[in-house]
Structure formats: structure tokens, C-alpha cells
């Protein structure tokens, strides 16, 4: 019978004996223990020890079984069981230590062959009680040390995990109080800084405790774990920082709360807190300029240009793309720019140059529209909500949002009143530009101006106009007038025309051409009816006009062609009337050559 077959036979015998309630023999159990089949032997050994309390070797192997079991336990997940098994091992080792005697060794020496050693003095093999006792003491001492080390490992591991969970809870608490990254910075206060300090300290403690855990793990040998922390930056405040960590994994991913806390603290202390004071100071400086404008009635545009702080705006926009204080400043500055412009233009309002007055009005409207635009924008915003990010500024500069909203509303109403006033002024100016005022008459200066008496045939913008003046359905004369910025009369000449061919009902076919010398001192006016007379001619009137002396002459002609151009030759003083293929030349007195 082989050794393996014998063990199987013995094991079967044990099972049968147990089944029939027979007393288990220790020699049978020892066969399993001696071959280290501890799991199979354990239930029988426990039953044996319930019935027998005077077998030291059974205590010894019961201690070995518990020590083996503790070595297989997961020190992190089965810590309590592992310690209990080691305590049990110590208990049974101690019982064995106290009960193994020389007599026991002589009587049951076959049970202690594991301790069989050569005596260095005699050279003979044998089992010594001192060797067994020394081994048991060493085992118990080792187990007690391991229990302490396992407890320390589990302590540091649990503490690291707990500290990290507290870090997550602390960060979550911060997010609850400051839901958005913008509010995190702009609503920051001493309470937030305390929370950030606490978060950073706790995270440092977590990292240090984790390192202590790793260090203490090396004292208990192989544990089945080899973790390392992987620090992840909190780049997205909205989504990062709240997920838990699994400290049982080899790669333990944790959020770097220390780095997050330090970055926020630096930004708050170096940027946000000083910026709050700057916002209040900036508002005070604008108010001083308003007082100066009101008190001294002088423009403050130059001071406003110096006051504009682009650096402040850039800093603020790092935390808020559309900051409320900047809207407030833009509103106040726009108001001062508009009022300053009005003061600058005050002495020029009576200028005779209508174009210049229109330019002034357009500049005023530009500032006014800016004021109205920002006021309209702010009226449509939720000031109360936005003000939560700027409580220090609102409280210091306006007491509360009610005052601020009233101020915005007042400027909006002011801008609307001024726009209505400026619209009326603009209409008056635009209307004035359309007419040349000649005593009680108004001569069209623009093509869209309509007159019952004056029918312009030629209008060259801002230079001159020419046409027909009908006093009634029969009486008609030609006219020429220069157009100047003031629209008051400069040169105004009436001249006789061919009444028979320039009747009002013929107006649609009557055309005009004007020619002037380079210096604007001499003008020629050609009026003609492109509709042929009964004789097949083209009726025309030419007038020669001097700026200094007025009308030189006016002559009627019957042309053989429709004129398209008139050319003056200064060297001969001749005037050429040109058509598509024909032309006529007039001398300096208007006679056909």
C-alpha cells in the first residue's frame, strides 16, 4: 500500500468513525497533520480537543493550523479574522508550551520529529525540549508582533481612506456653497479660505497617512497589495473633484485637492480681494468726475480717458465674461461722455454751418445711443442674481440692489427723453439741409425736396442748383443758386427763358446742364426742352452768370440737336454746346458763331 493510499484510507477511517460517533484517534489525525493537510485535519482535530485536553501535540498543531489560516487572510478586507486566527494560534501555542514535557517527548517522540536535530556536542540526532520551547516562544513573539503590525497597516489604510472621503465631502460642501466656478472666486470670503485650508491640510494628511500605510505594509511581508497614489488635477470645476477613490486598486486615482486649494487661494488673495477694493475706488473716481461736471459745467472726457483701467477689466473677465460692475461703469461713463459732449458743443449750437451742426448732433447721438444701449441691456438682466457675485461692490457703492436698479432705470428714462429730443433736432437739421432760404422763398437743395414754385433741373450736391421758377402757370423764369453749408442765400440769379417752350406742363421733357470754371467765379446754365418744336428744333436758353456781378446775359436758341454737354474755353471766352454729332459755339456775349 502506497503512502498516498494509506492517507486516503486513514482519512476515510476518520470520516467513518465520526459518522458513527466513535472516538477519533489522534494517530489517525496526525497522519493528516504530518502531511500538512491542515484543512482536512482541522474539523477532526477540533473534535478531538473537545474530548481530550491533555495532548500537547494536538495543541501545537492547532496553533499551526490557525497560524496558517491567518497567513491566507486578506489583511485589509479580513483583518479581524486574521487577528482572531493569530490570537487563537498564540493561545494554542501557549497551551502546548506549558504542557510539553520531557516525559511527553519520550512517550510520543514520533509526533515531534519535525524538531529532530543533530546534537552538535554528541553528534547524535534527537528531539530537545528546549528546541521546541524556543520555537514556540519565537512563534508566539512573531505572531504578537505581526498582530500589532497588521493592526497598524489596517489603521493607516482605513485612516487614509477615511481622510480622503472627508476630502471629497469637504470639496462637495464647497461646491454646494459655490455652485459655479465664477461664484467660487467672486463670492470668496474668509470662510471659503478656511474651508480651502482645511481641505488642503486634510488632503496632505491623507497622502502622508497613505505613505505610512505603504511603509508599514513592508513590515508584514507579502500582502497581495502594492498601491500607489495617482494625483489628478481638478481642471473642470463643474465635473471634477467629487468621484470617490478605490484604495484597494494598485493605481489609486485621487483628486489633487491640495493643488486645487492652493490655486484658488492664490487667485482670491492676489486677484479677487484687491480687485474688489479697486472696483469701489473706480466707482468713487467716476462719481468725482460727475460732481466736477455738475459743479463746474465742464467736460470731463480727458479725465475719463485717463481713468479707464483696461487691466482691471482684463482681471475681472478672467472670472466673469460679462461682469456687472463693468456694465455699471460703462453706463456711468457713457452718461458722462454724453453730458460732456453736450457741454463741448454748447457754444457751437448756433453755427450757421448746418452740416457742422449735423456732425455735432451725430456725435451726441453716438454717445447717447451707447448710453441707451447699455441701460437697455442692464434693464433686461437679473441684477439681484448677478449682484450675489459682487456683494462687496454693491454694498459699498450703492447700499443695495434696489438703489442700483433705480439708478439704471433713471438713466434709461433720461436716455429715452434725450433721444426723442435729438430725433426732433435731427429732423429739423435734415429738413434745413434740403432748402436754400432766399427771403420768403425756399429753393430745393436736394433732389427729394418738393416745391410748388421752384423746379430744380440740376442739383450738384453742396455746390449749386439750377431750374425753373414758376410764379403761376404762365410766368416762368430760370434760376441759378449756389448751395452753401448755412443754406442761406449766397448767389441767386433769375434769368428770362423761352416761356413758350418752358411751360409747366412741358416740365417732364425740360432738362438742364450747368458748367462752372475751376475757381467757381463763372457759371453757364443751359436749359432745353428735348421735345422738338413744330419746326423740328430744340428750344434752349443759355445764361452766363458771374459770382461777383450776377447775370451777364441770357439768350434763347433754336438748336438743331439735343445738347449733351457744354464746354467753356477761358482763353477765348467761347462756350461750346455739344450734341452727339453736332455742336454750336457761342462767343463771350452769347452770339452764335
pTM for the structure as a whole: 0.74
Q: What is the pLDDT of residue 305?
A: 83
Q: Residue 542, SS3?
A: strand
Angle at 538 (CA atoms; ends 532, 541), nearest 5 degrees: 135
Name, in order, each residue with C-beta under 8 angstroms of 540's C-beta and a sequence gap of 6 or more.
498, 526, 527, 528, 529, 556, 557, 558, 559, 563, 577
Q: What is the pLDDT of residue 330?
A: 93
Q: Which residue has the cell 488642503?
A: 200
Q: What percent of the chain has pLDDT over 70?
A: 96
Query: 16 is written with which cell numbers?
Result: 467513518
- If residue 384 lies in a helix (H) or strand (E), which one and from where to where? helix 383-387
Q: For 7-33, give the secondary structure using H, E and C.
A: HHHHHHHHHHHHHCCCCCCHHHHHHHH
Q: Which residue has the higher pLDDT, 342 or 350?
A: 342
Instruction: Give the tens place of pLDDT for each residue, 254-297.
Output: 999 999 999 999 999 999 999 999 999 999 999 999 999 999 99
Instruction: Give the tens place of pLDDT for each residue, 374-383.
Output: 999 999 999 9
Measured between alpha carbons, how far apart are the two ends of the chain, in Å?
Answer: 158
Q: What is the pLDDT of residue 315?
A: 84
Phi, psi of 494 (to 5 degrees): -105, 145
Average of per-residue pLDDT across 480-488: 93
Name the average pLDDT for the chain.
92
Q: How many residues does the chain have?
A: 593
Instruction: Give the tens place of pLDDT for each residue, 63-115.
Output: 999 999 999 999 999 999 999 999 999 999 999 999 999 999 999 999 999 99
Q: What is the C-alpha separation between 526 and 521, in angstroms, rounded?
A: 17
Q: What is the pLDDT of residue 441?
A: 85
Q: What is the C-alpha separation between 223 and 152, in angstroms, rounded?
A: 13
Q: What is the pLDDT of residue 482?
A: 95
Q: What is the pLDDT of residue 6?
A: 42
Instruction: Give the tens place of pLDDT for each residue, 204-251.
Output: 999 999 999 999 999 998 899 999 999 999 999 999 999 999 999 999
Q: What is the pLDDT of residue 97?
A: 97
Q: What is the C-alpha separation between 280 and 392, in angstroms, rounded?
A: 8
pLDDT over 60 at 7, yes or no: no
Domain ranges, ordered by start, for the chain: 3-152, 264-433, 445-586
Q: Which of 329, 306, 307, 305 is nearest to 390 (CA)?
A: 329
Q: For 131-180, give the secondary structure using H, E and C.
A: HHHHHHHHHHHHHHHHHHHHHHHHHHHHHHHHHHHHHHHHHHHHHHHCCC
Q: What is the pLDDT of residue 371?
A: 95
DSSP state of 471: S
Q: What is the pLDDT of residue 474?
A: 80
Banded pLDDT at 4 (limits 50, 70, 90): very low
Average of per-residue pLDDT across 332-339: 95
User: Contact, 179 vs 229, CB < 8 A?
Assistant: no
pLDDT over 70 at 8, yes or no: no
Average of per-residue pLDDT across 525-554: 95
Q: What is the C-alpha separation between 73 and 80, in angstroms, rounded?
A: 9
Q: Which residue has the higher pLDDT, 287 or 10?
A: 287
Instruction: Give the tens place of pLDDT for each residue, 491-512.
Output: 999 999 999 999 999 999 999 9
Q: What is the C-alpha separation between 436 and 481, in angstroms, rounded?
A: 8
Q: Residue 538, SS3?
A: strand
Q: Is 518 exposed, middle or buried (0-12, 13-18, 19+ CB in 10 A)?
A: exposed
pLDDT over 70 at 446, yes or no: yes
pLDDT over 90 at 15, yes or no: no
pLDDT over 60 at 481, yes or no: yes
Banded pLDDT at 518 (limits 50, 70, 90): confident
Q: What is the C-alpha separation between 157 and 248, in angstroms, rounded?
A: 9
Instruction: Give the tens place of pLDDT for each residue, 175-197.
Output: 999 999 999 999 999 999 999 99
Q: Is 334 exposed, middle or buried (0-12, 13-18, 19+ CB in 10 A)?
A: buried
CATH number for region 3-152: 1.25.40
pLDDT over 50 at 10, yes or no: no
Question: Measuring CA to CA, how many Å separate 499 from each of 16, 275, 472, 545, 586?
Answer: 150, 81, 12, 20, 22
DSSP state of 488: B
- If residue 264 lies in a helix (H) or strand (E), which one and from where to where? helix 257-267
Query: 165 is written with which cell numbers?
Result: 472621503
Angle at 107 (CA atoms; ends 101, 113), nearest 5 degrees: 85
User: Contact, 202 vs 163, CB < 8 A?
Assistant: yes
Q: What is the pLDDT of residue 591?
A: 95
Banded pLDDT at 11 (limits 50, 70, 90): very low
139 — alpha (psi -120 to 50), left (phi > 0) or beta?
A: alpha
Q: Which residue has the cell 481530550?
A: 52
User: Contact, 244 vs 360, CB < 8 A?
Assistant: no
Q: Residue 233, Cβ neighbours under 10 Å: how many?
A: 12
Phi, psi of 403 (to 5 degrees): -65, -45
Q: Is 248 exposed, middle or buried (0-12, 13-18, 19+ CB in 10 A)?
A: middle
Q: What is the pLDDT of residue 24?
A: 77
Instruction: Give the tens place of pLDDT for each residue, 104-130.
Output: 999 999 999 999 998 777 778 889 999
Q: What is the pLDDT of residue 12?
A: 45
Q: What is the pLDDT of residue 22?
A: 66
Amino acid at each position: 500500500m502506497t503512502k498516498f493510499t494509506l492517507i486516503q484510507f486513514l482519512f476515510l477511517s476518520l470520516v467513518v468513525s465520526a459518522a458513527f460517533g466513535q472516538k477519533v484517534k489522534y494517530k489517525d489525525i496526525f497522519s493528516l497533520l504530518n502531511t500538512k493537510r491542515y484543512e482536512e485535519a482541522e474539523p477532526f482535530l477540533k473534535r478531538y480537543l473537545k474530548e481530550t485536553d491533555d495532548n500537547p501535540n494536538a495543541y501545537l498543531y492547532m496553533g499551526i493550523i490557525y497560524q496558517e489560516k491567518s497567513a491566507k487572510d486578506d489583511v485589509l478586507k479580513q483583518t479581524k479574522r486574521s487577528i482572531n486566527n493569530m490570537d487563537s494560534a498564540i493561545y494554542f501555542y501557549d497551551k502546548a508550551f506549558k504542557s510539553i514535557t520531557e516525559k511527553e517527548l519520550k512517550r510520543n517522540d514520533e509526533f515531534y520529529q519535525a524538531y529532530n536535530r543533530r546534537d552538535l556536542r554528541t553528534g547524535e540526532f534527537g528531539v530537545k525540549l528546549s528546541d521546541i520551547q524556543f520555537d514556540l516562544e519565537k512563534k508566539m513573539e512573531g505572531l504578537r508582533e505581526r498582530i500589532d503590525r497588521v493592526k497598524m497597516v489596517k489603521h493607516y489604510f482605513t485612516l487614509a481612506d477615511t481622510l480622503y472621503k472627508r476630502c471629497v465631502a469637504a470639496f462637495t460642501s464647497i461646491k454646494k456653497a459655490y455652485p459655479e466656478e465664477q461664484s467660487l472666486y467672486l463670492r470668496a470670503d474668509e470662510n471659503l479660505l478656511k474651508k480651502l485650508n482645511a481641505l488642503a491640510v486634510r488632503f496632505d494628511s491623507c497622502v502622508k497617512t497613505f505613505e505610512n500605510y505603504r511603509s508599514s505594509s513592508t513590515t508584514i511581508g507579502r500582502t497581495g497589495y502594492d498601491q500607489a497614489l495617482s494625483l489628478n488635477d481638478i481642471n473642470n470645476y463643474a465635473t471634477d473633484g467629487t468621484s470617490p477613490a478605490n484604495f484597494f486598486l494598485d493605481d489609486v486615482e485621487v483628486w489633487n485637492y491640495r493643488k486645487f486649494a492652493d490655486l484658488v487661494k492664490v487667485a482670491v488673495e492676489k486677484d479677487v480681494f484687491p480687485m474688489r477694493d479697486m472696483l469701489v475706488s473706480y466707482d468713487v473716481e467716476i462719481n468725482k468726475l460727475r460732481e466736477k461736471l455738475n459743479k463746474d459745467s465742464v467736460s470731463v472726457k480727458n479725465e475719463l480717458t485717463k481713468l479707464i483701467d483696461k487691466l482691471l477689466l482684463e482681471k475681472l473677465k478672467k472670472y466673469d465674461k460679462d461682469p456687472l460692475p463693468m456694465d455699471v461703469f460703462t453706463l456711468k461713463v457713457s452718461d458722462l461722455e454724453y453730458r460732456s459732449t453736450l457741454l463741448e458743443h454748447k457754444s457751437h449750437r448756433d453755427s450757421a454751418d448746418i452740416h457742422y451742426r449735423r456732425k455735432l448732433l451725430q456725435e451726441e447721438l453716438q454717445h447717447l445711443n451707447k448710453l441707451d444701449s447699455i441701460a437697455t441691456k442692464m434693464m433686461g438682466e437679473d441684477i439681484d442674481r448677478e449682484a450675489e457675485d459682487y456683494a462687496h461692490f454693491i454694498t459699498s457703492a450703492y447700499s443695495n440692489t434696489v438703489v442700483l436698479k433705480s439708478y439704471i432705470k433713471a438713466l434709461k428714462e433720461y436716455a429715452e427723453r434725450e433721444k426723442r429730443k435729438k430725433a426732433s433736432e435731427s429732423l429739423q437739421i435734415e429738413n434745413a439741409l434740403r432748402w436754400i432760404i432766399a427771403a420768403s422763398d425756399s429753393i430745393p437743395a436736394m433732389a427729394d425736396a418738393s416745391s410748388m414754385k421752384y423746379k430744380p433741373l440740376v442739383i450738384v450736391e453742396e455746390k449749386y442748383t439750377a431750374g425753373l421758377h414758376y410764379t403761376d402757370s404762365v410766368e416762368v423764369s430760370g434760376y441759378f443758386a449756389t448751395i452753401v453749408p448755412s443754406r442761406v442765400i449766397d448767389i441767386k440769379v433769375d434769368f428770362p427763358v423761352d416761356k413758350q417752350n418752358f411751360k409747366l406742363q412741358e416740365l417732364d421733357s425740360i432738362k438742364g446742364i450747368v458748367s462752372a470754371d475751376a475757381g467757381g467765379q463763372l457759371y453757364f446754365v443751359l436749359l432745353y426742352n428735348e421735345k422738338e418744336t413744330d419746326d423740328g428744333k430744340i428750344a434752349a436758353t443759355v445764361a452766363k452768370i458771374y459770382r461777383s456781378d450776377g447775370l451777364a446775359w441770357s439768350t434763347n436758341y433754336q438748336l438743331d440737336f439735343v445738347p449733351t454737354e457744354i464746354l467753356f474755353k477761358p482763353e477765348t471766352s467761347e462756350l461750346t454746346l455739344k450734341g452727339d454729332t453736332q455742336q454750336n459755339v457761342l462767343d463771350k456775349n452769347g452770339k452764335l458763331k
